[in-house]
Structure 1
């Protein structure tokens, strides 16, 4: 059986988010561009002979039956296979950075490798879709254009950018935002070319800023550096730069009580490359 190993469980940004409709089952049709980052959580996987999967490390305050790491592991576990998983948590919860989905995808990829299950990437994406709409993009480990409910993915190669991400002191409920009667749900679909021409926005941004004033303050604070935007349903706001020194300089000018992150965008998460 394989030895233990550690993997980056990368964060993501939604560079835009359009809600184009609502399906009869309650899910929303959308368009978005997932930008993977070179920063995130660290997950360590080690085999054990107990036949059980255990999770150690940072406590994220989620019951085991709701924890996406353990739920992902349970979809793959066989009676005689066990693993010890350790989590070093850096991605804040409720931030729109995809932490739980990324953790689930990283677990699927890692345990497929650790337990030598030989499941295809397509099969793992199907399993991941059952855990959450954002899980498949992390299984694919590629920056991607997404449609449907987020499961129809087309890899995209983007120029290298650096992002200054501000983390407000609030936890945004995705369910609350997507069920809110004021949410825009009728945006017209756009093309990738239209996105590059600037025809994009986050349809959740105004609503989240209204419901969570801390988010509005974060966006206003970043606006002095460029076009500030919400990622996903929030709470994090971000602005892009063409170089890391520019992003670091902007970060240094923020008020001392602001929690912020500087991370680079990547087209492929190479930390998982050998497992895909």
Structure 2
């Protein structure tokens, strides 16, 4: 029997352990190389079937209009694809979002919400789509959505949508959220952004795992720090304790630690001045792992 609802579906955030810009396509999109790292800092989504065909967000948000919410857009896209490919009209759904991941932080919260929506509703609506099918839908919503649908840490190339699973070392992270929201387009449009970092060879990845705290850099960070002094302050302060760097296009800054105890000591020292989180690295997306292993 298909359930009438799915509750407490996690949408985990991500960190970019490094982010290199290696070129630019003719259509203006940038060519990237990065390693995506899942962390246990999550939004939670709750889905309840309706008796009509409407898709509604039942939580309000002053920051994102309902029609622009990636979770709503993902649900509408999946509903449309189920009907187009299978000829099956599906009932609508109410979507409740417990929003913990900050907007404009480079943590991928909106993209993760969209991926969780596609995975959960594919199950709730008995859509029957495989991961590769959901990825084809996800890329229409945002460049980071495919990563969350793959469901494990990955080396990303292209515009971040070509993904090779990788195992990253276990660890804990202190994440600082400076009091700014960074528009991604503003960073990528900057004339000061370098776009010629030397591409990485996959054969180098054993070195990446050994030198994870110092491997690569975030090419967007220099631009973001110039535009947003708060990011520069966060990087400088967290750098006292390790190799701090920005994730995505900002604004969040992180540093990796070997133990939870060490991470919490640093976070405590910084908490009077900064919005800090202590998070653990994950190897797998918790919802995808659960759905993939149901019935085993």
Query: Under a length normalisation based on structure 2, what TM-score does the superposition of the two structures give?
Result: 0.90
Looking at structure 1, the residues matched to 187 and 208 of structure 2 have their Cα atoms a distance apart, in angstroms, of 24
* Structure 1 alignment gaps of length 5 or more: none
Q: Offset of 1:85 from its aligned partner?
A: 0.9
Q: Offset of 1:45 from its aligned partner?
A: 1.0
Which whole-Å deviations, capped at 9, do the CAs of 1:195-253 have from their partners, x for residues lacking one? 34444010011110010000000001101110000001100000001111111111111
Counterpart in the other structure of 1:152:
162
Counterpart in the other structure of 2:101:
91
Would you say 1:2 and 2:12 are equivalent positions? no
| 1:98-247 correspondence to structure 2 within 5 Å | 98-191=108-201, 192-196=205-209, 197=211, 198-247=214-263
Which whole-Å deviations, capped at 9, do the CAs of 1:24-47 have from their partners, x for residues lacking one? 011000100000011210101111
Q: Offset of 1:60 from its aligned partner?
A: 5.1
Report SS of the residue matched to 2:142: coil
Which whole-Å deviations, capped at 9, do the CAs of 1:117-159 have from their partners, x for residues lacking one? 0001000011101110000010111111100111110111112
Do 2:180 and 2:230's aligned partners in 1 also have CA atoms closer than 8 Å?
yes
Q: Offset of 1:275 from its aligned partner?
A: 2.5
* Structure 2 alignment gaps of length 5 or more: 84-88
Which whole-Å deviations, capped at 9, do the CAs of 1:71-90 have from their partners, x for residues lacking one? 10111115442111100000
Q: Offset of 1:271 from its aligned partner?
A: 3.0
Counterpart in the other structure of 1:33:
35
Would you say 1:47 and 2:49 are equivalent positions? yes
Looking at structure 1, the residues matched to 162 and 288 of structure 2 have their Cα atoms a distance apart, in angstroms, of 21
Query: Under a length normalisation based on structure 1, what TM-score does the superposition of the two structures give?
Result: 0.96
Looking at structure 2, the residues matched to 249 and 3 of structure 1 have their Cα atoms a distance apart, in angstroms, of 44
Counterpart in the other structure of 2:68:
66
Counterpart in the other structure of 1:262:
278
Report SS of the residue matched to 1:215: helix
213-222 or 2-11, which moves further after superposition?
A: 2-11
Counterpart in the other structure of 1:275:
291
User: What RMSD over aligned residues (CA atoms) do the two structures have, in Å?
Assistant: 1.3
Looking at structure 2, the residues matched to 11 and 24 of structure 1 have their Cα atoms a distance apart, in angstroms, of 30
Counterpart in the other structure of 2:77:
75
Looking at structure 1, the residues matched to 18 and 119 of structure 2 have their Cα atoms a distance apart, in angstroms, of 27
Do 2:57 and 2:66's aligned partners in 1 also have CA atoms closer than 8 Å?
no
Would you say 1:253 and 2:269 are equivalent positions? yes
- Evaluate the alpha carbon distance shift between residue 60 and residue 268 of structure 1 in structure 2; reply closer, same or farther with a 3 A threshold: farther
- Evaluate the alpha carbon distance shift between residue 199 and residue 61 of structure 1 in structure 2; reply closer, same or farther with a 3 A threshold: closer
